[in-house]
Amino acid sequence: MPTCQNCHKKWNWKQTFKKSFTLGGEMTCPYCEEKQYLTARMRKRSTIIPFIITSLIMLGNLFFGPSYVFVFALLGLFPLFFGIYPFFVELSNREESLW
């Protein structure tokens, strides 16, 4: 679970999950109300992993033909990803550049 870089309090799963859906990449700490930002490493991971999951399922459809197995795999993997995502969130006091 992420830890606020200002007050050093650990967020719980529910707080992290709710804050993950904010636009703009900034999250407000539920304890000290200071702005926190996802680290550049975390932002890269959060875009690459769903892309890889979707690509693998589409490649499976391409090589083995359309199947309900791949549809159910997609429907099962995305909720799994969103369920474990809060455990890997890393925060920073300032917004970091991706480059």
Residue 46 in any domain: the answer is yes
The edge-to-edge listing of strands for the beta sheet with 26-28 is 26-28, 35-38, 91-92
Determine the average pLDDT of the residues in 12-35: 85
User: pLDDT band for position 52 (50/70/90)?
Assistant: confident
Give first-to-last CA distance, the chain, whole Å: 25
* Total-model pTM: 0.69
Residue 65 in any domain: the answer is yes
Pairing, β 35-38 against β 91-92: antiparallel
Residue 97 in any domain: the answer is no
**Facing residues of 91 across strands?**
38
For 36, the domain range is 13-92
Q: How many domains does the chain have?
A: 1
Residue 4 in any domain: the answer is no
Residues 97 and 11: their CA atoms lie apart, in Å, by 24
